[in-house]
Structure 1
């Protein structure tokens, strides 16, 4: 008997790393600019975080970061064979998570791709946790988890790392158990002129059909 295994409906993630020698000065500059935006910092409850406005991609101080996102988005679009439909950044903002702060499970509606870039990460993490998108899951415990038996997957947070993922994929960030702040920049991407270029029917009409 011949057996074949086919993986249907994969959920890709794209992980891009800047060399540490380049990431260190780049992140120091980003951190300074983020601090300028939120200073003086308002008081937030324990477990909460600070966020900037969602317009960082329109600010000259973040032009180099915006260029990095756009280059990365084009590479992802080529992988997905959708490069004929140019994408734009619809929102870009910084997150500053002090110790004990976290992000609950969520996704990013009305976008095609989303991503996060890590500016500063405490020694104790935390990582970015993605949830299994399948609506029903029965996974008997085998003693060892794998991509085929787990209902969540962790992506390591590393300074200078960018992770891009489908916007519908639910994810969360556990509590910051470190002693320093976790600083990241999140962004969303959507097709320009989507209705005009990509939303038309994919079938051809034939006689007798409506």
Structure 2
């Protein structure tokens, strides 16, 4: 049961021989399609656009566009609070698939940092990940994609040791996986999974929400983090 659930199998005949390809150790990415997305989207879009007028843009991996400070979890606007309050339940589902958890996590203990992104034509995000000690999971929500076939795809990057440490003139078959943006879709993934966002080609402002999350039951530590800098990082996060 465990193998059939976690590992994809593909079998076929090659002459008189049977070949079976095992896709081992996949990254668990949870796609959530919000059934009520169309109902709260107008109000949430209006709030994000208003915040863009009030808050300066952070400079992260974004090339162009507006990246809000990671403080939306502290906002009191009802539509923002309502949206964020629904995220922990989905994080629990993801965690059950990724970790060997014997009892369900307490959803009230998830700690979130949430931000908004607004992109105009030509804007994109460079390849990056969100991992640091304590931050175990990340996600993004497509609030307004700007239409069909307008770019802005999120591309997950294969970061297994072989693609990272070798060079081959022939590309590997699974170097990346591209996600087609769709209003109301949320993707939740391990924070160390690399990704980028392709240039946006639409004319309407493209809006997404993103988040990092930690949970006291999931103590994941980045080996390169130095404890003596933890306090400094905490202070910088508060003022950023």
TM over 0.5: yes
Structure 1 stretches lacking a partner, 5+ long: 142-147, 200-210
- Asked if the contact 1:132–1:152 (Cα under 8 Å) also holds between the matched residues in 2, the reply is yes
Q: How does 1:1-210 map to 2 (within 5 A)?
A: 4-19=20-35, 22-39=36-53, 48-61=64-77, 62-80=80-98, 81-82=100-101, 84-86=104-106, 88-110=110-132, 111-123=135-147, 124-137=150-163, 138=168, 140=170, 149-192=173-216, 194=218
Distance, in Å, in 2 between the alignment partners of 1:53 and 1:91 is: 9
CA contact (8 A) 1:133 1:170 kept: yes
Aligned length: 188
The higher-RCO structure (CA 8 Å, 6+ apart) is 1
TM superposition shift of 1:131: 0.9
1:88-127 deviation digits (Å, cap 9, x = unpaired): 2331000001111111000002211100001101221321
TM-score by length of 2: 0.69
Q: Note closer, same or farther for the CA distance 1:192–1:58 as it changes in structure 2 (3 Å cut).
A: farther
| Contact 1:85–1:192 (8 Å) recurs in 2 | no
For 2:39 and 2:170, locate their aligned partners in 1 and report how far apart those are by CA, in whole Å.
47
Deviation at 1:85, TM superposition (A): 4.8
Listed one character per residue, the Cα deviations across residues 118-156 of structure 1 (whole Å, up to 9, x for unaligned) are 110122132110111123345846xxxxxx813111011
Contact 2:92 2:104 in 1 (8 A): no
Per mean C-alpha deviation after superposition, the further-off stretch among 186-195 and 89-98 is 186-195
Say which SS state the counterpart of residue 157 (structure 1) adopts. Answer: coil
Residue of structure 2 in register with 1:205 after alignment: none
Contact 1:107 1:170 in 2 (8 A): yes
